[in-house]
């Protein structure tokens, strides 16, 4: 393939218009070898939830935000609880923090695994979706579903139910899993999840040759903590500028409006930055458990990685850490002896609080201001995908000129789609209705 494909002019317009608002279109416009446009157009539902939160009591905020989306419900819920607890001065116990960390491990595991198997693997195997893989690789699909189910079991055991957990409330938990429940969960994690994860690493290794080679150094931002691999809590950490407390989140997101997206874009030290598993890897690889680090070495993932396509590999590595650290947390809970503690719901102040948590796609921020009746007067929510949008555009602007001489339009389109998928953007959180056609 060469220039005789006529690719001095390249016009790519991948439309993903389906049912409703909230889908991304990839647009590339190149004329006479000059790139005029390479971007992901986002039409996202407006910030409806911020408006919906106004006037709500502190009991309701986490319930409402957890329903923003089935994929990210736990992340929104915990981030919301943290914001509320800080605003109202509600301290939580060590057991509450451990249970929440266990929940985050389950949610991260589930999302990372589904992403690798349902979005990335079909690309690497050059099939359109996961469905054809049932015929060609049934064991792999069944493994993915087994891992999803077991990750859900964590949510069921701790959260009362997996998708929109109900036991997790401001100030603690309304219900605590029994020692027996935790022991059973531990057994499943050790006997099923960890072996399945090791098999996942092998699958990823076999597919790694299909991962595009593309480098673009950018700023990587994630939480970082002095203790564990930061998912539940930490300072905001940038590969460019180091650590700051999460009270500086507005400066560390710096939202701005662009014409092609109804979702705001973000930048800090450069024109864009990346959040998510790869950013966490670059900032916190030293905090991963030894098994996860071994997997990273086997998969060729190195610190300071600048290939965004390797976000998927970072997710697989991180999934192992979540599985193994979940076992460690269960052991800690069992040693303490799980016991019911009344949730601390007596506000000691009424003000503003910020919650920041690493959800699968990156840092999620919620900020609430409460009045003296413990009702929300102001809410702000910055999702990871909004933070990644500028970075995706910058990746595209570097990628297209690099490959235009050597690849066909179809290949470039496929690489661009894979790039967007590597970030697993949250572009349609919302609606799950069927679209059917009656057969004659």
Closer residue to other proteins in complex, CB, 29/417: 417
Token readout for 329 is 């947390």
Q: How many CB atoms lie within 10 A of CB 95?
A: 19
Contacts of 280 (CB under 8 A, 6+ apart): 222, 223, 229, 230, 231, 314, 318, 358
Q: According to the binding rule CB under 8 A, does residue 54 interact with other proteins?
A: no
Closer residue to other proteins in complex, CB, 252/275: 275
Closer residue to other proteins in complex, CB, 95/312: 312
Site string for other proteins, 408-437 (x = CB under 8 A): ---------x--xx--xxxxxxxxxxxxxx
Token readout for 285 is 């690889």
Within 271-300, the residues that bind other proteins by CB under 8 A are none
Q: According to the binding rule CB under 8 A, does residue 48 interact with other proteins?
A: yes
Three-state DSSP state, 218: coil
Among positions 37, 56, 67, 205, the unique one binding other proteins when judged by CB under 8 A: 67
Least distance in angstroms from the C-beta of 67 to other proteins: 6
Residues 208 and 210: their CA atoms lie apart, in Å, by 5
Q: How many CB atoms lie within 10 A of CB 222?
A: 26
Within 92-111, the residues that bind other proteins by CB under 8 A are 111
Q: According to the binding rule CB under 8 A, does residue 336 interact with other proteins?
A: no
Q: Are 236 and 284 in contact (CB under 8 A)?
A: no
Closer residue to other proteins in complex, CB, 335/440: 440
Token readout for 65 is 């935000």
Closer residue to other proteins in complex, CB, 213/434: 434
Q: Are 276 and 423 in contact (CB under 8 A)?
A: yes
Among positions 135, 226, 286, 372, the unique one binding other proteins when judged by CB under 8 A: 135
Token readout for 150 is 């077991």
Among positions 19, 59, 187, 270, the unique one binding other proteins when judged by CB under 8 A: 19
Contacts of 134 (CB under 8 A, 6+ apart): 141
Among positions 55, 70, 245, 303, the unique one binding other proteins when judged by CB under 8 A: 70
Q: Are 379 and 366 in contact (CB under 8 A)?
A: yes
Give the strands of the sheet with 24-31, arranged side by side.
10-14, 24-31, 34-42
Least distance in angstroms from the C-beta of 78 to other proteins: 17
Closer residue to other proteins in complex, CB, 21/291: 21
Q: According to the binding rule CB under 8 A, does residue 149 interact with other proteins?
A: yes
Contacts of 287 (CB under 8 A, 6+ apart): 225, 228, 229, 230
Choose the binding region for other proteins from 134-142, 224-232, 330-338, 341-349 (rule: CB under 8 A).
134-142
Closer residue to other proteins in complex, CB, 286/437: 437
Report the length, in residues, of the chain: 440
Catalog residues that contact other proteins under the rule CB under 8 A: 16, 18-21, 23-24, 45-46, 48-49, 52, 64, 67-71, 73, 111, 114-115, 118-119, 128-131, 134-135, 138, 141-142, 145, 148-149, 152, 162-164, 417, 420-421, 424-439
């Amino acid at each position: 393939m060469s220039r005789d494909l006529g690719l001095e002019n390249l016009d790519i317009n991948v439309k993903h218009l389906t049912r409703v608002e909230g889908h991304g279109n990839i647009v590339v416009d190149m004329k006479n070898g000059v790139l005029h446009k390479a971007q992901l157009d986002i039409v996202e539902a407006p910030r409806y939830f911020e408006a919906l939160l106004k006037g709500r009591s502190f009991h309701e905020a986490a319930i409402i935000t957890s329903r923003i989306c089935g994929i990210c419900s736990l992340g929104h819920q915990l981030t919301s609880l943290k914001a509320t607890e800080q605003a109202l001065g509600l301290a939580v116990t060590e057991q509450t923090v451990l249970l929440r960390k266990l929940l985050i491990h389950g949610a991260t595991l589930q999302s990372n695994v589904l992403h690798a198997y349902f979005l990335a693997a079909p690309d690497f195997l050059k099939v359109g979706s996961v469905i054809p893989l049932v015929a060609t690789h049934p064991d792999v699909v069944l493994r993915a579903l087994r891992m999803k189910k077991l990750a859900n079991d964590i949510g069921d055991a701790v959260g009362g139910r997996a998708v929109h957990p109900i036991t997790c409330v401001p100030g603690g938990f309304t219900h605590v899993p029994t020692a027996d429940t935790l022991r059973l969960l531990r057994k499943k994690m050790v006997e099923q999840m960890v072996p399945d994860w090791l098999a996942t690493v092998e699958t990823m290794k076999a597919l790694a040759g299909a991962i595009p080679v593309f480098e673009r150094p950018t700023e990587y931002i994630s939480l970082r903590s002095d203790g564990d691999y930061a998912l539940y809590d930490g300072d905001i950490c940038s590969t460019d500028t180091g650590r700051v407390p999460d009270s500086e989140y507005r400066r560390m997101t710096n939202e701005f409006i662009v014409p092609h997206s109804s979702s705001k874009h973000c930048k800090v030290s450069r024109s864009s930055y990346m959040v998510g598993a790869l950013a966490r890897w670059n900032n916190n690889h030293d905090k991963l458990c030894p098994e996860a680090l071994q997997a990273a070495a086997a998969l060729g993932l190195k610190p300071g990685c600048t290939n965004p396509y390797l976000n998927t590999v970072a997710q697989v590595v991180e999934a192992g850490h979540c599985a193994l650290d979940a076992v460690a947390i269960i052991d800690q809970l069992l040693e303490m002896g799980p016991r019911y503690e009344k949730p601390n719901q007596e506000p000691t102040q009424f003000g503003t609080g910020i919650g920041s948590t690493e959800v699968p796609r990156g840092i999620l921020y919620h900020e609430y201001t409460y009045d003296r009746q413990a009702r929300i007067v102001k809410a702000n929510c910055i999702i990871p995908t909004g933070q990644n949008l500028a970075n995706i555009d910058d990746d595209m602007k570097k990628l297209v000129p690099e490959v235009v001489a050597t690849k066909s339009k179809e290949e470039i389109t496929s690489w661009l789609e894979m790039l967007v998928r590597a970030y697993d953007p949250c572009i349609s959180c919302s609606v799950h209705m069927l679209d059917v056609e009656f057969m004659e």
